[in-house]
Amino acid sequence: MGSEATSTRVALITGAAGGLGQELVRQFAAQGWQVALGYHRKEPVVQGAGLFTVPLDVSDHASVASAINVVMERCGRIDTLVNNAGVTADALSWQISEEDWDRVLAVNLKGTFLCAQAALRPMIRQRDGHIINIGSFSGRAGQRGQANYAAAKAGLIGLTESLAKEVGSRNVRVNAVLPGVLLTPMTAKLSETQLADYAAANALGRINSLSEVAEFIVFLATMQNVSGQVFQLDSRIARWT
């Protein structure tokens, strides 16, 4: 245990440099959490006590192991892992390259598994912990031009439920959150027409907000009796099939 180990709750957020990642960091920190900001290429700017950056390529086993070790050495524990890192490479299915298929699955599904696997070891020893996987409505209903992304996010739901059954007896919770379409760098390429179409697909006629999604996730991280659940946070309606 490192010299800076603390009893303060500790969260590791992957993809912390992204739009939702930054908002999660802000809101976890506002609630007094110590937050490790996992990043791959662009190191996020850290402002505030209790925040520190950790290089993390979620698709690489060695990088994941190193990041968890850094958090444990510095903080002595890990209470919540938010698997937020994600990428898209949209194209019609017959136009998706094998490279883009592999990359999207490696980050969105394999990366979630590798991070969860590494974080579960200290959480099981602690007999306490929470893993929150950021999914997508595409994983429920599919999406034209997103066969790779939808497949990865559908797999994430199965992964969430399987892990929850495996580690529930160790008092570790595993849940998934489908945040809906958010105004982030990932969606910046969408046109005004596409955004309007997404809003129209919602029963409330609007898309979600970063702050509301992050607020929900921070609250979920504190819940002790909820596991194996998939929380959809917008107002699109689809059958569970």
The 3-class secondary structure across 88-139, one letter per residue, is CCCECHHHCCHHHHHHHHHHHHHHHHHHHHHHHHHHHHHCCEEEEEECCCHH
Of 71, 149, 160, 167, catalytic: 149
Residues with Cβ < 8 Å from 103, sequence gap 6 or more? 87, 89
* Residue 10 backbone dihedrals phi, psi, to 5 degrees: -120, 130
* Three-class SS state of 80: strand
Annotated active-site residue 39? The verdict is no
* Three-class SS state of 52: strand
Is residue 13 within 8 Å of 27, Cβ to Cβ? no
By annotation, the residues acting in catalysis are: 149
